Structures are given as C-alpha cells and as structure tokens.
Amino acid sequence: MAEKIDNLENLGQHRLNHLRELEAEAIFVIRETAAQFDNPALLFSGGKDSIVLFHLARKAFYPGRVPFPLLHIDTGHNFQETLEFRDYLVDKYGVKLLVGYVEDTIKEGKAKEDTGYYGTRNAIQSITLLDMIEKYKIDAALGGARRDEEKARAKERFFSHRDIFGQWDPKNQRPELWNLFNGRKHLGEHFRVFPLSNWTELDVWLYIYLEQIELPSLYFTHRRKVFNRDGVWLAWAPFMRLKPDEKVEERDVRCRTIGDIPTTGLTLSMASTVEEIVYEVATTNTTERGMRFDDKVSETSMEDRKREGYF
C-alpha cells in the first residue's frame, strides 16, 4: 500500500488521481482566502471536516505557519473529548484560538434557550458566531462544510457572500467560474469559504487514512451512557432531559459526525481504527447527517438556518 500512496501519479504520467485533485483544489481555495482577505479565521468544530481543513491549511502554508486563527463556537454542551482535542491541536501547532460562548449569548439576552426535550443550542450558535465575526472583524470564515452533506449545501459556492446581517441569499449568489473567486465586499459584509465543497464523506475518510490525520477519540468505539430517542442513540449528560419512558444504558458507540451532545446521534459500533471506520462508511446505507438531530426539524431546516447565518 505504501508504494501506491507515495505515488502521486497512479494514473500514469502527469495525471492526478481524484483525491489529490481535491487536495490541490482545497489548498488553492485556502491560499486564495489568505490572499484576498485581511482577517480570515478557520471555523473549528472539533469534527473531522474541520480537522482535515486545518491539516490542508498547514500544508498550504508549509513551512510557514497557518496565517489565521481557529474559531470555535462552544455551545456549552460539548463533549469533553472535543474540547481536549481542540486544545491539544492548538498547543501542538502553535495556532491562535478564538472561542465564542453560546452561554454568553444567552446571558446577554440575545437568545432564549429552548429547554424542552428537543431544545438544542444549535440555532443560537449562529448568533454567537455572527457576534464573534463582528467582534474580531473577521472578513472570511473558512468552514469544512461539503456540498454532498445536505441539499441546501449543494448550492453553495466556494466563496459564499454574506450580507451585513450575516445572511445568505441562495437565490442571488454570485456566479463562480473557473477558479476565479470574487471575494470583494463592502464594509461589514463577510464571506464563508468552503474548500472541501467537492469532497464526499468517503473522500474525507480515505484522506484521513492516507495522510494519517489524528482524530478525537469520540470517532472510535467507546463505552458510554446513552439513551434512545425516536430511534437515535444520544449521549447522556446531566443537562439532557429524559422523557419518562427513556432509560440510560451503557453501549459501545462512536460518533460518525461530531456536533454538541444534544445534536449528535451515536452509532453502535466496535470500530476502533480508521480503517474500520472507512469500512463502515463504505458499506453503510444512511447519510451521515441522517444521524443529526438538528436536521430532523423540517425538510428545509438546514436552508433556514443557513439563511440566518449558520455555518
């Protein structure tokens, strides 16, 4: 395997395979962001897509440092493992970290928390994010979102314009041709940039395997207190309200995608290595966002949230 991995030209002379082509495209977009904007930041969730994005950013500027900070929106309901991994990466690579707290947004009275069974802080994140963007004068926020994830995301540009209120106008997007990205904007507006637009979930996992990228332990099997709600396994935590018929039990689980605790559905799995995960992903018959509680609200919940400034 090692031989093939090291060969950039498996397809014959001067032919890039599709994974390396996606890598080249993402690096181009990341560099273009650093060049066209004064104050970019990389939206870091602790999930695999933002970890891959950071890995690509390190490649893009090697041997220099990544010339922008990581920005994390902490809902206050995060998995401890996510936060530990975030701090580990920041420490290891000497990159600057900015954290916005949803708790602050709620305390400041800018949002009211839904504390019902299905209440999450997911939508409030958008407000915290926009506050952080304004506070640090961030003019481009790089995110790991992919077009294959969700139907509203299938319409995203690489350089996606946001108006002064942080809103996305999907019906009136700038045409994006060749690789000529137009990042011009007026004061107060900003861009979201998605270098992984053309990657699929399997691309991301195979790239992680190929490049041996480190991941938080949450992605691998572990025993955890969980409960089942409407067919989805959720992690138990003190702030999670249980319905009368729901009971906490211990199971071997792992995350297929990482959000915060209330939004992340867990997979019953014994996969303990990246190759076992790749195998799972390659043979599964559900989408990864099918495991996300935040998308189950309505058919257009992603589009609605994105219009309002979501990731």
Partner 1 sequence: MEQHTKLSKQEIKQKVDELLNNYLEMDLLRFTTAGSVDDGKSTMIGRLLYDTKAIFQDQLDAVERASIRRGEEQINLALITDGLKAEREQGITIDVAYRYFHTPKRKFIIADTPGHVQYTRNMVTGASTANLAIILIDARNGVVEQTLRHSYIASLLQIKHIIVTVNKMDLVNYDQQVYEKIKKDYENISQKLEVPDIRFIPISALKGDNVVEKSQNMPWYDGPTLLWLLENINITSDLNLKDPRFPVQYVVRPMNDEWHDYRGYAGRLASGVFHVGDEVMILPSGLTTKITSIHLSDRQLDYAFAPQSVTMTVADDIDISRGNMIVPVDNLPQQSNEVEMKICWFNQRPLQTKGRYILRHTTTEMLAMITDIIYKLDINTLEKNFEDKQIKMNDIARIKVRTAQPLFFDPYRVNRQTGAVILIDESTNETVAAGMIE
Q: Hey, which residues between 90 and 149 contact partner 1 (CB under 8 A)?
A: 147-148
**Beta strands at 265-268 and 249-255: parallel, antiparallel or unpaired:** antiparallel
Nearer residue to partner 1 within complex by CB, 131 or 303: 303
Choose, by CB under 8 A, the member of 99, 111, 278, 297 that binds partner 1: 278
Structure tokens at 128: 């915290």
Q: What are phi and psi of 121, to 5 degrees?
A: -95, 15
Question: Side by side, which strands form the sheet with 190-193?
Answer: 97-101, 70-74, 40-43, 140-142, 190-193, 159-162
Residue 193 C-beta-side C-alpha neighbours within 13 Å: 31
Choose, by CB under 8 A, the member of 101, 209, 220, 236 that binds partner 1: 209
Residues 231-260 that bind partner 1 (CB under 8 A): none
Nearer residue to partner 1 within complex by CB, 228 or 287: 287
- The yes or no reply on residue 185 touching partner 1 (CB under 8 A) is yes
The stretch among 83-91, 178-186, 226-234, 240-248 that binds partner 1 (CB under 8 A) is 178-186
DSSP string, 67-117: SS-EEEEE-S---HHHHHHHHHHHHHHT--EEEEEHHHHHHTTSS----ST
The stretch among 84-92, 99-107, 119-127, 177-185 that binds partner 1 (CB under 8 A) is 177-185
Residues 10-39 that bind partner 1 (CB under 8 A): 10-11, 14-25, 27-28, 31-32, 34-35
- The yes or no reply on residue 151 touching partner 1 (CB under 8 A) is yes
Q: Least distance (Å) from partner 1 to the CB of residue 267?
A: 8
Choose, by CB under 8 A, the member of 176, 246, 252, 308 that binds partner 1: 176
- Residue pair 219/191 in contact (Cβ under 8 Å)? The answer is no
For residues 184 and 96, what is the distance between their CA atoms, to the nearest angstrom? 26
For residues 5 and 211, what is the distance between their CA atoms, to the nearest angstrom? 9
Choose, by CB under 8 A, the member of 110, 135, 184, 241 that binds partner 1: 184
- The yes or no reply on residue 283 touching partner 1 (CB under 8 A) is yes
